[in-house]
Amino acid sequence: MIKRYKLISIAVFALISAVCLFAGCHLSINQGFDDFIKDKNLTASVTYFLNEGEFDNNSRIVNIYYNEGTKPFEITQGAPAGATVGNAKVKERTGYIFDGWYLAKTENGVPVYTDGTAYDAKVGFEATKSIAVTDEKYTFDKALSSGDKVYLVAGWSVETKIIVKLIVDGSIVKDDVTYTTGSTIREYFIPTNGFGNVGSTVFSAEGYQFVSFYFDQKADNRIKDWPIYAEEEGEDRVIYAKFIEKIGSSDWIIVENTLGISRLFAGGVGSFSNYYFIDDVDCSSLSTQTPLANFNGNIQGNGYKVSNLKIEDPYLMAGSSTAAIFGELRSDAKIENFTMENVTAKFNARSDVGAFLIFTEIAPTATINNFTFGGALTVSFNESVTNYTEIRASRWLFGTANDSETLQKWDISIIDGSSCTIFKGNKQDAVFTYYKNN
């Protein structure tokens, strides 16, 4: 009983303080509380119940009276998100996340406890009971009308953690600790509005680079949609952060969309960069790109494919370098586990030049493993070109001596139906089509 009266006294004190602060006035010692409410025309009220936890004033209930047309205060946890009343903030509660305010269940306009009994404002909040609550969250965006009595109950969610584990080839040693695939590298609490993508801030180690987050340790199921939520309240969730080793001091360009493709075909530094694919890339919406003069970088396709890429060079001249999508594949270049399909390349030549589909040359020390390509090459010569010798049936995929010899030497697969069409002026002059069994 003593505890109950203490709670009532604290609530009344908070109520009077709230009203005074809200109304911007002072309550005379000789002025009755009801007269004060009437005098200031405070005709609406909101009661905030904390079934568990406490306000900063050690109460579990706060009553606030308002003028008609006023939007009610949203009492928040910790630092206020907006106006608050005095020190009426929700205290941190260990193991729980404050989830805002919900409408209390009422009968005949009076809140009821979970045992079905009615809340009695004269008796005060019964500390051993909990106010019943609905599923309707209160938004605080509607002005109060005269006579409104709103009863709100704090919502709480069990605090749930995101446990981030590592995916890496080999091991990473950091601060004398060895991390391998499956090692826990970070833990976060999941807020009620979900856990957002924290990216590379999850972990860092010299010589390694963050790639992406995954739901599984095999890195087959990449997390693409954020935020993510707890699967069950109070049940921790495990995700995985993949890291790869850098090549020297150079960062990988992580390719998951057409931005990475644009960087690849921008030429310059792009021709010497390292590309790590984490998704298929459809280039249907990407503008036409310019072929490379050469490529000496590293493409790790990881089994992903690029499709519907458009390449064009309208100004091939006699005496200029021969042309192909990648140009010359140089000595340090690597292309591994990579597919390109439905690629279209168009070259407009003013004289007899070498225009090929994939490479003009392949350096003997270049690396090509499991590279699959499919596409169509169109070369248009001026009418003045009476004969072309660089392109022929046996030599249009590559600028090397013979396409079949090149395919035998390198781990390259050509998709059936890939083709080369030659125009002289506006007339089609020849069509070469690749079929593996022909």
- Alpha-carbon span 168 to 312, nearest angstrom: 39
Pair of tokens at residue 215: 């739901």
The pLDDT value recorded for residue 285 is 97
Q: In degrees rounded to 5, what are phi and psi of residue 314?
A: -90, 0
List CB contacts of 411: < 8 A, sequence separation 6 or more.
368, 369, 370, 371
On whether the CB atoms of residues 406 and 398 are closer than 8 A, the answer is yes
Residue 79, helix vs strand vs coil: coil
The neighbouring-strand residues paired with 177 are 174
Four-point Cα dihedral 280, 284, 290, 295, nearest 10:
10
- Alpha-carbon span 26 to 40, nearest angstrom: 11
Q: If we measure between CA atoms, which residue out of 207, 228, 208, 206 comes closest to residue 167? A: 208
Structure-token match 């697969």, residue found: 413
The pLDDT value recorded for residue 319 is 52
The pLDDT value recorded for residue 438 is 65
The pLDDT value recorded for residue 6 is 34
> Which amino acid is located at 286 in the chain?
L
Q: If we measure between CA atoms, which residue out of 41, 38, 49, 40 comes closest to residue 14? A: 49
Pair of tokens at residue 217: 């340790």
Q: How many residues are present in the chain?
A: 438
Q: In degrees rounded to 5, what are phi and psi of residue 365?
A: -95, 5
On whether the CB atoms of residues 383 and 344 are closer than 8 A, the answer is no
pLDDT (tens, 9 = 90+) of the chain, 438 residues, equals 333 333 333 333 334 334 433 333 333 444 566 787 888 889 999 999 999 888 887 888 988 899 999 999 888 876 444 334 445 788 888 888 888 999 999 999 999 999 999 999 888 889 899 999 999 999 999 999 999 999 999 998 888 999 999 999 999 999 999 999 999 999 998 877 789 999 999 999 999 999 999 999 999 999 999 999 888 877 899 999 999 999 988 899 999 999 999 999 998 888 999 999 999 999 999 999 999 999 999 999 999 999 999 999 877 755 556 889 999 999 999 999 999 999 999 998 877 788 899 999 999 999 999 999 999 999 988 877 777 778 889 999 999 889 999 999 999 999 999 999 999 888 999 999 999 876
For Cα atoms 335, 340, 342, give the angle at the middle one, nearest 5 degrees. 160
On whether the CB atoms of residues 214 and 181 are closer than 8 A, the answer is no
Pair of tokens at residue 241: 């952060």
C-alpha distances (whole Å) from 78 to each of 18, 154, 191 are 18, 14, 14
Residue 32, helix vs strand vs coil: coil
> Which amino acid is located at 237 in the chain?
R
- Alpha-carbon span 381 to 353, nearest angstrom: 9
Pair of tokens at residue 346: 């168009």
